[in-house]
């Protein structure tokens, strides 16, 4: 939307899937950090993440999509008590 | 309801004429919540729906807020949408009015003008539509039943024009115009259909092959740009109003402009007034002209956008002007029409004296003698070059 004259009338978003291109990671204050050794790949974090920011491969949790993770900490909270493989750390640190 | 015509003429109330125009337009969707004095519009239109005279989907909702919300949803889906309301009904639509205009949905609404509470009142003034004057809706005002009928048919073309794409409100006076029977000339269904044409929305939520999002959030990086776009469309719509009126005049012989003037050209003194009260004022103009007083009238038809250049041009040579408002802005500085006319005349070389007179709130009668009294005041102002009373209520 570089040319303002070509902005769609009435703020219509003229195609689907555009949320992907909107980096909400910049809102993050706390960053999730995964301890792979503790993780059991139960994927509760993947189920609970409101921003679909848990990246999986072959049914295994491999990390976070930090372009879209807002740092809400739900993944760390939901990670089972016996496991606690996700820790939230200050972005500033 | 069967309408009997003799030589293309029918005796109709304003509400019947609006309902009949809606029948002839045959919109796709009509979400409505009837309210006095516009009740009969929806009542009669509902009969047309029940009788199968139209293919419109009539949505009976639980409030006017819902009515306008349903209008927005249906319009976003690509439908031609019409509704009608008055007073508190329009007030309850407020939040959604801005959403309809910001989303650039060409919804067509008839507002049968009625006073706003409190005190509660069902009779005519313009506080409802004047309150909505900055909501981004085009506003057309109508003096007579005939004009209300003609305005509604033109409104469809104006709103849907690709240079405009804005919602539009057609206003007529509650009871005075909505309930009084006038002999008017109706167009045939084919003429109306030929004039309004088919509506093809540029974007529609129902086109699943080309999915779109409408009404999304827009933050500091582009909100102002969308508003700028909307503002320009509103300003441009003035040309469309003229273009559509010209085509209407060519096809059907009745001519409309941005405003009507009556014996204004050589007048020294002028009254500016909206809707039905203009008829009363014309009688006063004729009476005073017989006595040799150079008086005239200007009746705005298009109020939003405000055609300030054309209006100033028509009034710049007058000596004294009274702008009569049937609504008070409650700002301590006169009515809304007054404020805008006075501002429009600021750049005139020989600035006329302009005063505010507020009349007829809540349906109080405005009589020929009231107009005459205003003209007499203007005469004194013109003679002395002095304004003693800039603003006041009349018809008290």
| Bond preceding residue B52 cis, omega within 30 of 0 | no
Does residue B315 belong to any structural domain of this protein?
Answer: yes
Q: Do residue B190 and residue B228 come from a single domain?
A: yes
Neighbouring residues of B337: CB distance < 8 A, sequence distance ≥ 6: B272, B274, B300, B303, B323, B324, B325
* Contact: B213, A1; criterion CB under 8 Å: no
Report residue B123: phi and psi, to 5°: -95, 180
Does residue B1 belong to any structural domain of this protein?
Answer: no
What's the gap in Å between the CA of A21 and the closest CA on chain B? 15
The pLDDT value given to residue B1? 60
The pLDDT value given to residue B2? 74
* Contact: B202, A13; criterion CB under 8 Å: no
CB neighbours of residue B343 within 10 Å? 13
Does residue B267 belong to any structural domain of this protein?
Answer: yes
Q: Do residue B212 and residue B304 come from a single domain?
A: no
Q: What is the ipTM of this complex?
A: 0.83
* Contact: B211, A15; criterion CB under 8 Å: yes
Strands of the B259-262 sheet, one edge to the other: B259-262, B295-300, B269-272, B320-325, B353-358, B391-393
Question: The whole model's pTM is what?
Answer: 0.93
The pLDDT value given to residue B291? 98
Q: Do residue B170 and residue B24 come from a single domain?
A: yes
Does residue A37 belong to any structural domain of this protein?
Answer: yes
Q: How confident is the model at residue A17 (pLDDT cuts 50, 70, 90)?
A: confident
Q: How many domains, chain A?
A: 1
The whole-angstrom separation of Cα B108 and Cα B26 is 12
For chain B, state the CA radius of gyration.
21
Residues of chain B with Cβ-Cβ distance to A15 below 8 Å are 210-212
Does residue B280 belong to any structural domain of this protein?
Answer: yes
The whole-angstrom separation of Cα B321 and Cα B312 is 12
Mutate to test the interface with B, among A4, A7, A11 (most CBs of B within 10 A): A11
pLDDT along chain B (396 residues), means of 10: 82 98 98 98 98 98 98 98 98 98 98 98 98 98 98 98 98 98 96 98 92 93 95 98 98 98 98 98 98 98 98 98 98 97 97 98 98 98 97 98
Q: How confident is the model at residue A2 (pLDDT cuts 50, 70, 90)?
A: very low
Average pLDDT (A40-68) is 97
Domain that holds residue B232: 9-252
Q: Do residue B156 and residue B276 come from a single domain?
A: no
Residue linked to tokens 């320009």: B232
The pLDDT value given to residue A93? 78
Q: Do residue B246 and residue B264 come from a single domain?
A: no
As given in the structure block, the two tokens for residue B316 are 């710049």
What's the gap in Å between the CA of B95 and the closest CA on chain A? 17
CB neighbours of residue A88 within 10 Å? 17
Q: How many domains, chain B?
A: 2
CB neighbours of residue A63 within 10 Å? 15
Flag whether pLDDT at A3 surpasses 70: no
As given in the structure block, the two tokens for residue B175 are 């009871």
Q: How confident is the model at residue A1 (pLDDT cuts 50, 70, 90)?
A: very low
A12 and chain B in contact, CB less than 8 A: yes
Does residue A63 belong to any structural domain of this protein?
Answer: yes
């Amino acid at each position: 939307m570089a040319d303002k004259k070509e902005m769609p009338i009435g703020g219509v978003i003229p195609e689907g899937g555009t949320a992907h291109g909107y980096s909400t990671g910049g809102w993050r204050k706390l960053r999730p950090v995964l301890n792979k050794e503790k993780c059991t790949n139960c994927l509760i974090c993947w189920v609970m993440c409101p921003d679909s920011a848990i990246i999986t491969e072959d049914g295994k949790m491999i990390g976070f999509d930090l372009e879209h993770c807002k740092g809400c900490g739900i993944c760390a909270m939901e990670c089972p008590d016996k496991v606690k493989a996700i820790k939230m750390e200050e972005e500033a640190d | 309801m069967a309408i009997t015509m003799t030589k293309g003429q029918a005796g109709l109330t304003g509400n019947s004429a609006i309902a009949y125009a809606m029948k002839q337009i045959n919109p796709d969707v009509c979400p409505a919540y009837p309210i006095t004095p516009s009740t009969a519009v929806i009542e009669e239109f509902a009969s047309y729906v029940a009788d199968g005279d139209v293919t419109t989907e009539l949505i009976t909702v639980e409030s006017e807020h819902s009515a306008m919300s349903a209008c927005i949803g249906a319009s976003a889906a690509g439908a031609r949408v019409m509704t009608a309301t008055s007073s508190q009904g329009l007030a309850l639509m407020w939040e959604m009015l801005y959403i309809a205009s910001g989303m650039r949905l060409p919804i067509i609404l008839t507002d049968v003008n009625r006073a706003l509470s409190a005190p509660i009142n069902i009779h005519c003034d313009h506080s409802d539509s004047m309150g909505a004057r900055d909501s981004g809706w085009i506003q057309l005002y109508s003096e007579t039943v005939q004009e209300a009928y003609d305005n509604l048919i033109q409104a469809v073309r104006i709103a849907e024009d690709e240079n405009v794409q804005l919602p539009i409100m057609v206003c007529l006076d509650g009871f005075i115009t909505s309930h009084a029977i006038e002999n008017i000339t109706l167009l045939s269904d084919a003429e109306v259909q030929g004039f309004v044409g088919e509506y093809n929305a540029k974007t529609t939520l129902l086109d699943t092959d080309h999915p779109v999002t409408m009404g999304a959030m827009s933050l500091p990086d582009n909100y102002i740009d969308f508003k700028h776009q909307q503002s320009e469309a509103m300003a441009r719509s003035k040309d469309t109003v003229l273009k559509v009126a010209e085509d209407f005049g060519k096809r059907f012989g009745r001519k409309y402009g941005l405003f009507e003037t009556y014996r204004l050209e050589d007048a020294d003194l002028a009254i500016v007034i909206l809707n039905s009260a203009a008829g009363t004022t014309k009688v006063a103009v004729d009476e005073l002209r017989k006595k040799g007083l150079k008086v005239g009238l200007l009746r705005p038809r298009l109020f939003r956008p405000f055609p300030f250049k054309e209006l100033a041009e028509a009034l710049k040579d007058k000596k004294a002007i009274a702008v009569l408002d049937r609504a008070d802005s409650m700002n301590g500085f006169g009515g809304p029409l007054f404020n805008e006319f006075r501002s429009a005349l600021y750049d005139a070389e020989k600035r006329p004296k302009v005063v505010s007179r507020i009349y007829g709130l809540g349906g109080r009668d405005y009589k020929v003698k009231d107009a005459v009294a205003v003209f007499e005041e203007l005469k004194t102002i013109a003679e002395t070059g002095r304004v003693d009373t800039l603003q006041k209520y009349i018809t008290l």
